[in-house]
Structure 1
Amino acid sequence: MWADKLNPTVRRIKPSGIRRFFDLAAETKGIISLGVGEPDFVTPWHVREACMFALEQGYTAYTANSGILALRREITRYTADYLGLKYCPENEVLVTVGVSEALDLALRAVVAPGDEVLVPEPCYVSYQPCSELAGGVAVPVPSTVERGFRVRAQDLERAVTPRTKVLLLCFPNNPTGAVMPRAELEAVAELCAARDLVVIADEIYAQLTYEGEHVCFATLPGMRDRTILLQGFSKAFAMTGWRIGYALGNPDFIGAMTKIHQYTMLCAPVMSQMAALEALRHGQDEMRRMVREFSYRRRLVVKAFNDMGLPCFNPGGAFYAFPDIRCTGLSSEEFTERLIREEKVAVVPGNAFGECGEGFIRCSYAASVEDLTEAFKRMNRFVNRYRNSGSGGRTADSVTAAGGR
């Protein structure tokens, strides 16, 4: 009976399609998980040490709502050096409790009841629920593997209505690893200007770009003040558990987000902020080493999927592969559940990221080469059992035989 007291929007929202499979994997002994969206590297020692030193120095109190000024200054310096974008540390930066909070704040600051949010799919599982919790209406804009999982301006144009207010972008993409070339992003930018759309650009995987350049949406002509740029430390600096991110944007957007932040979270943990400051100042070498390792694993994983007969889109960024499993005759959820139970390998069904993800799975290669090797041996057995196309695949031992570093 108490369910009747709940907010109707909350009642309608489904639990995360990722978490259900994480829970199933947690109940299985001997599991190899390729489902977790976090680096398998430990936060570098000098970053952890900076946190411990901060604690020894008594940094245990609240900070300014926007975050420590020294960290905001370092964020703006890093953004200027890395992207060529200049922001004011006093009123155009907000330090948040991970990029997840930054996303929630951005949507709540901009979206009014009934406003439509364009959400290119496949996409991160939080985008639609967070849009709806903000009072908006999420409008999915599907992409396809044939188009490289890139969103096209003409597809967005067809989805625009008089109520459309926000475009939510994420490139490099979770779950596909797709990246967007400059020319295609420029076409999207022209549409946003013509239709007066606010853009929320989730670029948490920006540093994990392996092919070509990462084009930050806010750097495109006329997009700097129209865009709320979300970034953080979880992926590129291996700091998922520290829960530290940030948002950059014009003073109106950041001021509104800070107002909500004041009444809900107050500030990000001071210890995490001090660690983030150290990561920005001295963490580039470790980040580059981690990116090189991910790039190496990416090549192994894509080849292993293709060799076992599961066509795999070549991801240009992030640390996910998104292979096509339709030749097995199983749905994405059937494939995932049976793989866990029969071979003790955990991946995520593609439909958790939108309907157009059906027929695919998300496989994280943020795992050791040893775990990847064993996982692909198991997956090869599994695929060969269920294959209905009549074509055999080579063994997934190729994950180790695909070449040296």
Structure 2
Amino acid sequence: MTTPTDHDARGRGHGSRPLLNRRLAEFGTTIFAEMSALALSTGSINLGQGFPDTDGPEEVREAAVRALRDGLGNQYPPGQGVPELRTAIALHQQRRYGLSHDPDTEVLVTAGATEAIAASLLALVEPGDEVVALEPYYDSYAACIAMAGGTRVPVTLRPHGGRYVLDLDELRAAVTPRTRLILLNTPHNPTGTVLTREELTEIAALAVERDLLVVTDEVYEHLVFEGEHIPLASFPGMRDRTVTISSAGKTFSFTGWKVGWITASPALVTAVRSAKQYLTYVSAGPFQYAVAEALRLPDAYFTTLRDDLRDKRDLLSAGLADAGFEVYRPAGTYFVTTDIRPLGGSDGVAFCRALPERCGVVAIPNAVFYDHRDQGSPFVRFAFCKRTEVLQEAVARLKGLAAA
């Protein structure tokens, strides 16, 4: 039984040792939880956390209901994922990108992309290994690298000419003899950058030259408005050194189902599965059958999704510019990054905490996605994966900033 003297308000247990594992000591409550709670308490429009405010296709939702009623997935599914979904993932990769994968040995279903990232890093990184990641990065990257005992080495994407740009020389310089892998995200959250064929060619050449593994987070693969999405695994020499991650949440607007996957060589899948089996083991049984059907939707679905989000991107981007922000219009994802300095401030965290009271809108400060916090301080991210009328109301509210 725990007694009041076993720990104090500082979160310390027996003696002076903190309760929280030191690898996670720098990570507190996520900014998403803080901002979403602020949205609820103030009645603000939540353009912070990236989740749609409507469900995805009705036929996909009905497929989940049918699976539940038919007893599909109500008990533990296979540890690697149900065969129907693994086959659908393999067919998707072949049809979209010409990548051939054996659904029995080269596909692994996970509890969303977040578990796929965690399992990949826990499996492939040992204490002391360096992991190069593009900064700003999704917050789970830093935590997962820390849990694996690795050292994160950020390479900063910087705004230039209205977009965020990767300095390939800086990336090459970041690789040392201790580098184990590159953690890549394209289309990139939060900046909306879509790496070009030329950039990916250089990254692939670097990985081959230095014998590096690459973990690629491609969950926004179908949300590309300019340019094209090209999986790194399709480049010469990358097939057997790349773990490709994606998920159903962003593409089909069922983020709560938490169905993700990796595709990779048999050796890499076996390694990642060794870690994954001790995390969730399995999850989302009935939803796996529904996602298998979703991946077989006609091309028109994916085109309509992209075009609808492009229109919403343009609506919100124009409204933010009218409100006085400098806007970096994204080439992909469903986030737009802005610079608050034209509005007279440079502290994005303070700006986002005050924004709900100022105009009833919630956003996310980009600084939380940086190791070099000063690099991200003046930037703020807004999500546009919302109903058009919600975005129109948000734009109307934000106009008050220009008049302030």
TM-score (norm 2): 0.91
1:23 maps to 37
Larger deviation, residues 371-380 vs 214-223: 371-380
Q: Does 1:364 align with 2:383?
A: yes
Distance 1:374 1:5 in 2: 45
Structure 1, residues 71-129: CA drift from partner, whole Å, max 9, x if none?
A: 11111011100111011111111000100000000101100001111111112111111
Instruction: Kindly indicate whether residue 397 of structure 2 is the aligned counterpart of residue 378 of structure 1.
Output: yes
Once residues 382 and 244 of structure 1 are traced to their aligned partners in structure 2, the CA distance between those partners, rounded to angstroms, is 39
Structure 1 match to 2:270: 255
Deviates more, 1:355-364 or 1:142-151: 142-151
SS in 1 for 2:295: helix
Distance in 2 between the 1:351 and 1:52 partners?
41
Counting only pairs closer than 5 Å after superposition, residues 3-82 of structure 1 correspond to structure 2 as: 3=12, 4-29=18-43, 31-59=44-72, 60-82=74-96
* Pairing 1:261-300 to 2, within 5 Å after superposition: 261-282=276-297, 284-300=299-315
Is the deviation greater in 171-180 or in 5-14?
Answer: 5-14
Structure 2 contact 139–368 (Cα < 8 Å) conserved: yes
4+ residue segments displaced more than 4 Å: none
Aligned AA (1:55): L
- Per the alignment, residue 353 of structure 1 pairs with 369
- Where 2:184 maps in the other structure, the secondary structure is strand
What CA distance in whole angstroms lies between the structure 2 residues aligned with 1:54 and 1:205?
26
Q: 2:211 matched to 1:196?
A: yes
- Pairwise CA distance, 1:180: 1.0
Question: How far apart in 1 are the matches of 2:99 and 2:54?
Answer: 29
**Contact 2:263–2:269 (CA under 8 A) maintained in structure 1:** yes
**Offset at 1:283?**
6.0
Aligned positions of 1:108-119 closer than 5 A = 108-119=122-133
Instruction: Give the AA of the match of 1:338.
Output: A
Residue 168 of structure 1, CA deviation: 0.8
CA drift of 1:50 comes to 1.2
Task: Please state how far the C-alpha of 1:302 moved relative to its aligned partner.
Answer: 1.9
State the partner residue of 2:357.
Answer: 341
1:152 positional shift: 2.7
Distance in 2 (alpha carbons) for counterparts of 1:217 and 1:16: 30
Could you say what the CA RMSD is over the residues aligned between the two structures, in angstroms?
1.5
The one-letter code matched in structure 1 to 2:325 is L
Distance 1:5 1:359, change over 3 A: closer
CA contact (8 A) 1:109 1:253 kept: no
Deviations 1:22-78 (A, max 9, x none): 22222112x111112122331211111111111111121111110111211111011
Hey, what's the Cα distance between the residues in 2 that align with 1:186 and 1:308?
Answer: 39
For 1:14 and 1:57, locate their aligned partners in 2 and report how far apart those are by CA, in whole Å.
42
Whole-angstrom CA distance in 2 between matches of 1:361 and 1:191: 32
Q: CA deviation at 1:328?
A: 2.2
Q: CA shift at 1:181, angstroms?
A: 1.0
Number of residue pairs matched?
384
Q: For structure 1, which runs of at least 5 residues remain unmatched after alignment?
A: 386-405
User: TM-score scaled to structure 1, two decimals?
Assistant: 0.91
- Looking at structure 1, the residues matched to 127 and 250 of structure 2 have their Cα atoms a distance apart, in angstroms, of 32
Instruction: Map 1:176-325; keep pairs closer than 5 Å.
Output: 176-282=191-297, 284-325=299-340
- Greater CA drift, 114-123 or 98-107: 114-123
**Percent of pairs identical after alignment?**
35
Determine if contact 1:34/1:347 at 8 Å carries over to the other structure.
yes
- Give ranges in structure 2 of 5+ residues lacking alignment: 1-6, 13-17
SS state at 1:130 partner: helix
Distance in 2, matches of 1:316 and 1:262, equals 36
Q: Please tell me whether the aligned partners of residues 17 and 125 of structure 1 are also in contact (alpha carbons under 8 angstroms).
A: no
* CA-to-aligned-CA distance 1:353-392 (integer Å, 9 cap, x gap): 212322111001111222212212221212432xxxxxxx
